[in-house]
Structure 1
Amino acid sequence: MKKLKLKVKGHPCAETQELSPGRWGGRTIAECKCPPGTAQLPHTNTCHKLFERGPCRPGEYFAPVEESFNKRGERQGMCVRPQQCADETLIYWPADGKCYYRSTQGPCYPGSVLEAGEDGIANCSCEISGPHYWPADGSCYPHYTRGPCEKGQLFLPGPKCGCESHLPHYHNETGACYELDSVGPCSRGHTFSIAEVAPHGSRAECRCKSFHARAADGVCYRLYTRGPCAQDEMIARGGRCTKVPCARGRLYVPERRRCYRPGTPEPCPAGEVVAFDFEARPAIDGLSHNGVCACGNGACSRREVRLDVEACTTRRGTAPYNGTCHILNTQGPCPENSWLMRDQKNNIRCKCMPGRIPPNCDEDTRVVVKS
């Protein structure tokens, strides 16, 4: 009897299906299934790629259905409409259910940019005629990132590599430009981010990363790790070295100023337990004594906050607009050659970038919000 090769598309299966191992009672059998990353509509044997339009109507994408709904183990899909993001500057990425800024790399592979296709569904693209295309290597890059440029330069509209002193990305000490919220010209534990907000433009500088503190040696360390401290100490807010308050096997919860055993439901919300700080990187930050609340075996009652708008009002150099936190003095939701600024009346609006005047830029006075 001739043996059939598994994981091969086509005969004896439908053209888009492949022969895969399956279970029938206590036996292993071969059956026709859709390959990984694809699914089929009920009562059909044609497989379509997930998270693309596929067999759906314009404005819809093909989403997976839980296999538990199908006793035969078929990978089934259904047509759904994308969720709405906070405003038009964001686009919904079906594969992970999150919103990303348009014309950025977002969840895309390097060399492509996140855009909306003709069907309105997000995709990773690189159009030769597009504003993000770089002919030298045939790739696309978001503006105001390093992209294909040398260190100290940004990929600017044009497209071109350069550094302009009026940009908030400009670093006075080195006379170069760096991506915002990147390491840039900074030392360990720092990030190059907006710090100074002025009427004529914002400025970025090297600041401690979030949840880090600057110690006496000038380096920023992650809170509640050892840092530069002694063996039985950890670095606390303000960069002070304090004695580790917890016994071995316990985690420190700063909000309660107490120690808890991992897996304990107290003091977390329903469905969550005390867990190790999953954002700490032991190989870089060292052992973290910080305890966080994470989902336990039950359902979590806490909803994921997609956009940190509340914190935006207290963060220097940023402002909320249409439910989204934007960095001031960047293009954000504004037209090309314009950026988001705070005027003398404390309104947030789009104004022409320095060196640009109408009609080469658009001061869209409709983009105004009290902050």
Structure 2
Amino acid sequence: MGRGQSTEGFCSCSPQLVMHYYREDGHCYPLYEQGPCPKGHMLKFDYRTLEPVCECRDGYMLEDDGACYPLNTAGPCNQTSCHDGINCYLRNLDTLKTECKCLPGNVTTADGHCFEPYSRGPCHLGDWLVFSQPGVAVCEPKTHCTRFDNWFYWTPDQRCYRQYSRGPCPAGQLFYLDLNTGISGCHCRKEWTPYFWEEDGSCYEQHSVGPCPAGMYFSFNQTSGKTECNCFTSHVLHEESQTCYERMTNGPCPEGQLVVEDATTNRLTCSCHSGMTAHYWHADGRCYQHFLQGPCPQGQTFRLDRATGRPACITWG
């Protein structure tokens, strides 16, 4: 060992300790601990920004108030709004969103966590959680539909269906396993906010056509807290008629123009220009919908020529 060298350690912190230097307060912290972070967070290294950042711990979710809350606990939920049960903070397996859900009063396990009855909960794959009495949860084998947590068995046709899907149910009702009885059936309840359509009092599957006009699909708006009809991504809303029309089709447009989306209003407008190369016909300066006659002679169809990548009049067959 050379003169002047030492085997003794020392305490240090500087910006050169990239993975541990927290710029906001100029201190260094160990990773994967709370460090300078709020409750429910831990310090992790962000390889994109090359700086340590505060992120939610595993099993915690970030809410609008900036705090991280543990799943399957009371979390940020208002317990006064839930009668004869617990308002449990959990992830909805259908919408993949976190939510506060009122569950029956016997859904708290011995370690203080809450789970939906007849879900996998803390059980091994292939088992589900059954509450035999308040506060006593038992993991039992799930006889049917073991591959997915939110799929349940329907005895009449001996098939599995996803919770809150149309499944074997009549129009306006959804397939549902009752959390109190463990019996599946077809129901519609007003408190099923993401599926309930106020106008006809029926329930519809998310992202289905549901009660919506042609070109629209049924969905839940997280901001307004209500269900609504939205245009498919391949369609654009015509404000005047409240109808969705497919892009690059004739729609309500005058001859020679096609349906496009106005970049400012995100609503339907009619247009035709040379930049619409797949539909623009140089001979007359108009745009035409594919697979119709368009500007072509009788017996030919206006569509893209695979060889040139440009529109052409092509004889079928």
Settle same-fold status: TM greater than 0.5: no
Give the TM interval when normalised to the shorter protein. Answer: 0.3 to 0.5
**Structure-2-length-normalised TM-score:** 0.37
Looking at CA atoms only, which structure, 1 or 2, has the larger radius of gyration?
2
Q: Which has the higher contact order (CA 8 A, sep 6+)?
A: 1
